[in-house]
Structure formats: structure tokens, C-alpha cells
Structure 1
Amino acid sequence: MRICNFDGARPLGAPKDWDQHLDGACGVLPVLDAVDEQSGLNFMYSLWRPTAEDLAALQAGGALRLGIMGSSHPVINMAVVAPDVCQQAGVVEIPD
């Protein structure tokens, strides 16, 4: 999966007290804050684009896995964003 940058995104870095030597590398993730209309709570959205290998694995019956660090699972949502919406948002993959 490739992380994407997009219009309106802000950089989200490592959590407070993150120790790269103990916890490993933590890059920057472009996110967009949006208030959920039903709950009034903030969601941070990021965009990811699957590689050709990812798509092949999914088409062959693979699945997406979501990893959350911690002992409780936050509320999340996942969706596919239409190509025209990606184009309007200026979505670009961040090179490795």
C-alpha cells in the first residue's frame, strides 16, 4: 500500500513520547480532520493506494488488515474513494 498526500491534508507525525530506538521508525501520515455529522466527533482520514501486487492479492481472495497499537480499539471506518473524487482532491502517492 502506498500512502497518499492530498489537498487539505495536514502531517501527522509520531505520537508524544515515541522513542524511535525502542518503538521503531514512525513516518508522517497526511490526514484530513472532518467532523462526523451524526456523532459530532472528529475523524482523521488518510488515503492509501494499493500497489499492483496488493490488487492482485485482493483479486485472488486476499483481504485488507488494519493494525491498531494499543489495548483498546478506536472507532474506525474504511471506504473506497472513487477515482473522480481522488482527482478532485489532488491525491498523489508519496514515494518510498
Structure 2
Amino acid sequence: MLLHAKHFHLDNNKLSGKIPPQLFSSNIMILLHLILNGNNLIGSIPETIGNVQTLEVIRFGRNAQSGTLPWNLSNLVNVNEMYLSNNKFAGPIPNLTGMSLAYV
């Protein structure tokens, strides 16, 4: 468990497959940047991402992800950047009003 990693900068690689939900399974994880844009990721964003209350930057753009966005993205009140563009998400956008600092 990478509970104190702070930064996952894995952009513009050839990562593929689904993001494992257990990556974010702990609510004591300290992660500030989750940057996975420009890969070949598929599937949905795991709902367990809502457990990581310390997140400030989320970048999933330019992948092949699909499904609905996790309803608990609004739990991430410290996020100030979130990029989800160029994917295949469907369904409603979660209520993000709690993310008062976000540039989405």
C-alpha cells in the first residue's frame, strides 16, 4: 500500500487496462496528484477514489475510459484541477458544488 506516496505522475506512458479499485482503498492515503492522462486506460474511474480526501489534482484526460463518473467525486473538496477530457464517459455529471476550488 502506497499510503504516503503524495504524487502519482504517470502521464504519457503506455499504461493500459483498468485502474484497480484497491489502489484507493484506504481513507488514510495521502495523495496530492493523480496524473494518469495520455495512457491507454479503459473502464471506469473506481468509486474508491472518493476515499482519498487529500487529492488536489486529478488528470485522466486522453485515455479510453468509459462508464459513469463516480458519484463521490464531490467528496474531494481539496481538488483544484480535474481533467477528464477525451474519454468515453456517459451518464450524469456528479454534483460537484462541494469542490469550490476546482477548475474542471
Classify the TM-score, shorter chain.
Answer: under 0.3
Give the structure, 1 or 2, with the largest relative contact order (CA under 8 Å, sep 6 or more): 1
TM-score (normalizing by structure 1) = 0.22
Larger Rg computed on CA atoms: 1
TM-score (normalizing by structure 2) = 0.21
Structure that is richer in helix per residue: 1
